[in-house]
Amino acid sequence: MSALPFPFPVVTWQEDRVVVLDQTRLPGEVAFLDCLNLEDLCAAIRRLSVRGAPAIGVAAGYGLALAAKLAVDARLDAPLALAAVLRARGELAATRPTAVNLFWALDRLGAHAVRLSADGADAAGLHAGLLAEARRVHDEDIAMCRALGRAGAALLPDCATVLTHCNAGGLATGGYGTALGVIYAAREAGKVVRVFADETRPLLQGARLTAWELADQGFEVTVLCEGAAGSLLRSGVIDAVVTGADRIAANGDTANKVGTYPLAVLADRHDVPFYVAAPGSTFDPATAHGRDIVIEQRDPAEVTAFAGLATAPAGVGAWNPAFDVTPGELVTAFICEHGVLRPPFDQSLTVFRFD
């Protein structure tokens, strides 16, 4: 019996606030966090209470609606209300640098705010218009994930064993999932899917979140230390590796949770297809090459301690990039709402230049 409705209520607008499912508490506890102001929401994104590229984008959309609501409460006039929304856009943009979905949503909602304001909207009109647009972004994300899920499901055999990394599931999106969306859609199409989930050091999104949500949805899921992925791939049991992405450059180079690149190398070495599943909001035609993607560096303490316990001697440094870049040449295909995009990616990904 699932603990939550599905698609998961990862981020919602409730009355006067943004409510996020606090993913730092999973798998131990299903708890929600009320974000009553921008500081709360930005802190929730930074500490990964809400995380995963599309989910951050959805949260940012509701964040701009929240900024407009606070402008209504403060009785700001129309120009000051717009200024507050645009300031909030800057604050949200500074939370995490790598997932392009954040900037995609902020650009979309920011432009909408400017249009509403030019059409004469006061603070209340701005709030109503931004909330409606944020809900559209959210609904579209679920629809894109369902569509890409169907496209990806067709790539899997009737009885499939899939290896995934980090959490690119309902928890990382508007509720349905990208890599795990493929797995949900495969089951909806009558296929049987067994999943191996990399634990995903250092914050264990694979063990804590992917394993939690797949078990919650009734799948057989097995967690492994990512160092064991090589042996697993060599054993021949894996039909496909499917991951999500935080930003996909025009040439197919893909930023995703650190550890994805070595997994792609291993998949290539063992002739296992390596698929990246992502909605249109993750493709960044303005970034030509993976080397232009900003990689978030996080607190070294995330590597040297876990849950308050030291995992390295005191005083030892740590390198903690949150993401790595997989060269496009290691990606078998991208799975998106337009279908399955295969190399050469500098041609097939042009579908996103006109969105």
Report d(CA 56, CA 53) in Å as an integer.
5
Residues 170-209 that bind ligand MRU (CB under 6 A): 172-173, 178, 205
Whether residue 187 contacts residue 154, with contact meaning beta carbons closer than 8 Å, is answered with no
> Min. distance of Cβ 86 from ligand MRU in angstroms?
25
Nearer to ligand MRU, 126 or 163 (CB): 163
Which of residues 168, 204, 214, 341 is near ligand MRU by CB under 6 A?
168
Nearer to ligand MRU, 172 or 232 (CB): 172
- Nearest to 256, CA basis, from 349, 347, 176, 321: 321
Q: Is 164 in the site for ligand MRU (CB under 6 A)?
A: no
Q: Is 138 in the site for ligand MRU (CB under 6 A)?
A: no
Residues 29-48 that bind ligand MRU (CB under 6 A): 48
Residues 71-130 that bind ligand MRU (CB under 6 A): 99
Report d(CA 224, CA 201) in Å as an integer.
11
Read off the tokens for 278: 């992502």
Q: Is 322 in the site for ligand MRU (CB under 6 A)?
A: yes
Q: Which residue is nearest to ligand MRU (CB)?
A: 244
Which positions from 45 to 74 touch ligand MRU by CB under 6 A, shown as an x/- string? ---x--xxxx--------------------
Nearer to ligand MRU, 123 or 322 (CB): 322
Which of residues 133, 216, 239, 246 is near ligand MRU by CB under 6 A?
246
Span near ligand MRU by CB under 6 A; candidates 103-111, 113-121, 151-159, 242-250: 242-250
Chain position carrying tokens 């699932």: 2
Q: Which residues of 75-105 are buried (b: 16+ CB within 10 A; e: fewer)?
A: ebebeebbebbbebbeebbebbbbbbbbbbb
> Min. distance of Cβ 227 from ligand MRU in angstroms?
18
Which of residues 97, 244, 259, 280 is near ligand MRU by CB under 6 A?
244
Nearer to ligand MRU, 59 or 76 (CB): 59
Nearer to ligand MRU, 108 or 257 (CB): 257
Q: Which string of DSSP letters, residue by residue, matches 161-185?
A: EEEE-S--BGGGSSSSBSHHHHHHH
Task: Give me the active site residues, please.
Answer: 246
The three-class DSSP label of residue 302 is helix
Which of residues 70, 155, 245, 330 is near ligand MRU by CB under 6 A?
245
What is the tally of helices (H) and strands (E) in the chain? 11, 16
Report which DSSP code applies to 13. Answer: E
Q: Which string of DSSP letters, residue by residue, matches 70-96?
A: HHHHTT--HHHHHHHHHHHHHHHHTT-
CA distances from residue 181 to 2, 84, 113, 249 in whole angstroms, order as listed: 17, 36, 31, 22
Enumerate the H helices of 161-286 as residue ranges. 179-188, 211-216, 229-235, 260-269
> Min. distance of Cβ 124 from ligand MRU in angstroms?
33
Q: Which residues of 152-183 are buried (b: 16+ CB within 10 A; e: fewer)?
A: bbebbeeebbbbbbbbbbbbbbbbbbbbbbbb
> Min. distance of Cβ 54 from ligand MRU in angstroms?
5
Span near ligand MRU by CB under 6 A; candidates 127-135, 165-173, 222-230, 313-321: 165-173
Residues touching ligand MRU: how many (CB under 6 A)? 18
Residues that bind ligand MRU in the complex, under the rule CB under 6 A: 48, 51-54, 99, 166, 168, 172-173, 178, 205, 244-246, 256-257, 322
